[in-house]
């Protein structure tokens, strides 16, 4: 488990202190080994609308040390949503995931070197970074086209024309990656089981049949939320309803 990120910027920013009076209280409690109080203090910041990757990360660490695995994973996921490229966030999330009881097997998870490489590239850059890269490629293509028009050398014109195609291909790949990320952010909601167990029922009622039972920390797709119930899905086998009190929603 990597060390807690007690970043100087996180604790020294006056704006943060104004918006979250219990920020320093949580830090002091964590250092003293009182992880329950640290989690309560930092959770108060989140409940008051404070959004920061390091806050979610530290809150996840406090919950993890307090043996509340579901809430730890929930906050690590929230931290990664704000900064997908942060290796500390990803490391602790992966470590916490390894301690969950539910292991859902899926044939799509088999290692494929090409797909795995593409997946890593897709997640290596944030949306903002990819947009800057796309803008850079657009300008490169623009200047190549301008030089081709202005050049009087036929061979140079051919070289410039040919060089546009691979750059345009890379540009298209980055554009598809960004488009998918934006689409997923606007259509996909992630949930995490924060109770010790969560019953998955056939309908949004205690009277409906229990189909499955998921353990704390299990991550699920949230399809909808209504009247205190969450419609969830996990792979192809699990599709039902859970109580909102038993599921934390990342988005």
Contacts 24+ apart (CB under 8 A), 162-171: 167/137, 167/140, 167/141, 168/137, 168/141, 170/137, 171/134, 171/137, 171/138, 171/141
Query: In terms of pLDDT, which residue wins out, 17 or 225?
Result: 225
Query: Nearest-CA neighbor of 53 among 81, 29, 26?
Result: 81
Is the pTM for the entire model greater than 0.85? no
Note the pLDDT of residue 2: 52
Q: Is the pLDDT of residue 18 over 60?
A: no
Burial of 243 (0-12, 13-18, 19+ CB in 10 A): middle
**Do 207 and 246 contact (CB within 8 A), yes or no?**
no
pLDDT in tens, 209-240: 999 999 999 999 999 999 999 999 998 888 99
Output the six-digit token pair for 47.
């409940």
pLDDT in tens, 26-74: 999 999 999 999 999 999 999 988 888 999 999 999 999 999 999 999 9
Query: In terms of pLDDT, which residue wins out, 123 or 134?
Result: 134
Tell me if residue 215 falls in helix, strand or coil.
strand
Q: Report the Cα–Cα distance between both ends of the chain, in Å, rounded.
A: 25
Confidence of residue 16 (pLDDT cuts 50, 70, 90): low
Bridge partners, 219 (sequence order):
192
pLDDT in tens, 148-203: 898 888 888 899 889 999 999 999 989 988 888 787 767 668 999 999 999 999 99
Burial of 159 (0-12, 13-18, 19+ CB in 10 A): middle
Given phi > 0 = left and psi -120 to 50 = alpha, else beta, which region is 104? beta
Output the six-digit token pair for 38.
């640290």
Contacts 24+ apart (CB under 8 A), 9-12: 9/54, 10/52, 10/54, 10/55, 10/58
User: How far is the CA of 28 from the CAs of 7, 33, 65, in angstroms?
Assistant: 14, 9, 15
User: How far is the CA of 54 from the CAs of 7, 60, 136, 157, 206, in angstroms?
Assistant: 8, 10, 30, 51, 38
């Amino acid at each position: 488990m990597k060390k807690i990120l007690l970043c100087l910027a996180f604790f020294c920013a006056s704006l943060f202190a104004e918006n979250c009076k219990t920020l320093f209280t949580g830090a002091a409690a964590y250092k003293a080994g009182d992880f329950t109080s640290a989690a309560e203090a930092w959770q108060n910041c989140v409940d008051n609308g404070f959004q920061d990757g390091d806050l979610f990360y530290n809150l996840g660490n406090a919950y993890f040390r307090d043996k509340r695995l579901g809430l730890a994973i929930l906050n690590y996921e929230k931290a990664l949503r704000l900064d997908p490229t942060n290796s500390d966030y990803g490391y602790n999330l992966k470590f916490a995931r390894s301690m969950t009881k539910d292991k859902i097997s899926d044939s799509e998870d088999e290692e494929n070197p090409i797909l795995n490489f593409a997946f890593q590239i897709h997640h290596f850059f944030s949306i903002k970074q990819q947009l800057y890269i796309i803008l850079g490629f657009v300008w490169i293509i623009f200047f190549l086209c301008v030089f081709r028009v202005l050049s009087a050398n036929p061979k140079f014109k051919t070289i410039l024309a040919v060089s546009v195609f691979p750059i345009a291909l890379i540009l298209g790949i980055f554009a598809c990656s960004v488009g998918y990320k934006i689409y997923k952010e606007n259509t996909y909601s992630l949930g995490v089981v924060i109770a010790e167990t969560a019953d998955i029922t056939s309908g949004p009622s205690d009277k409906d049949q229990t189909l499955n039972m998921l353990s704390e920390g299990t991550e699920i797709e949230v399809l909808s939320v209504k009247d205190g119930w969450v419609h969830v899905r996990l792979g192809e086998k699990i599709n039902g309803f859970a109580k909102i009190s038993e599921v934390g929603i990342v988005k």
